[in-house]
Amino acid sequence: TCSLLFSKAGKTSFTVLSTKTPPTRRNFCRMSSSPLPVAAVCQMTATPDKEANFFVCKNLVEEAKQRGASMVFLPEGFDYIGSNQEETLSLSESLGEETVSRFTDMARKLEVWLSLGGFHERGPNWKTDRRIYNSHIIINDKGDIVTVYRKAHLFDVELLEKGVSLKESASTIPGPSLIAPVQTPIGKVGLGICYDLRFPELSLALQRQGAEILTYPSAFTVATGIAHWEILLRARAIETQCFVLAAAQVGPHHSKRSSYGHALAVDPWGEVLGDCGGEQPGLIMVEINLEKLENTRKNMPVQEHRRNTDFYHSLEKTK
C-alpha cells in the first residue's frame, strides 16, 4: 500500500490506498526527513469574507510547513471570491496593502516560500477606470516579493447548456507579458493562472526558458473541470516534461458560483502524484525529484527533436 498525507479543515488524516490503485492514482507523501524538496499544493473554498479566507490559508500554510514543505501553493482567488462584480472590485487592493503584507509576514516568520495563485490587484489606473489584474505573486522565505505574473488569458466564456457564463474581462486587465521562471527551493517554477492552462504556447515558452515546474492555480468551474481539468494538466506535463502543480478552489463560494476542486500534482511523465478530491479543503505534499525530470528528458529528448519556430509557421506562408 501507499498513503496520501492529507489535511481536511485543519485536521490531519491518512488515506490508505490499495496496491490495486492504477499507476496514475498512486498518491503519496514523504515526511520532512526526505532529502528531496517538498511542495504543498492546497485546496480551499474562498468566500467574500477576506478575514475568514486568510485564516484558512494561514492554517494550510502552517500545516504544510510543519510537514516539511519548503514551498506552498495557494489557488486563484485565495484572497476572496466575490458574489458580484461590484463586490469583487470593492474588495480589491494594491500589492502594498494589508492582504499581501500579511502573507509576506507569514512567509518570513515560517521561513517558507509562497505561491499566491491569484490576487485581485488594483490596476494602474484604478481611480479612473476601476479595473484590476489577476496577479500570481511569489514570495520568498525572507518575506520578499520575488515576482508577479498577471494573468494573460481572461475567462470570457458562455456555455449556457452547462450553466457557465463568466466574463472576466469586464473587470480585469490582461497581463502584458509572460514572466521568466523563478528559481525556488523546489526548482525553477514557471507561472500561469487557471485559463492559461488551455494555451500550450505559454507552457512551452516557459519550458524553453528553463522551467522545471509549471503551476496553474485555479478556480475551475465544475462543468469545465469535469470535462478538461485533469486532461489538460497531464497534457501540459507530458508535452513540456515538467512537474505540474495546480492548487484549486473547491465547492460553493456563494449562491452563484462553485468550483471543481481536485488540486493536482503531476510528474514529467504525466503520472498523477496527488489529488485533493472534489469535496473538501486540504493539501497534498509532493516530493519534487528533479532527477526524474532529467531522466525523462534524457530518455525521450522531445525538445531536441523540436524544429525551429519557422518550421511550425511554414503553413502560414503557403496561403
Kindly list the catalytic residues. 76, 151, 194
Q: Which of 58, 130, 52 is nearest to 88 (CA)?
A: 130
Residues 6+ apart with CB under 8 A from 108: 141, 142, 143
DSSP string, 43-59: EE---S-HHHHHHHHHH
Cell triple for residue 304? 531536441
Amino acid 297 reads: R
Amino acid 84 reads: N
Q: Which of 237, 313, 306 is nearest to 273 (CA)?
A: 237
Amino acid 3 reads: S
Measure Cα distances from 156 to 33, 95, 184, 220, 248 in Å. 45, 25, 32, 13, 19
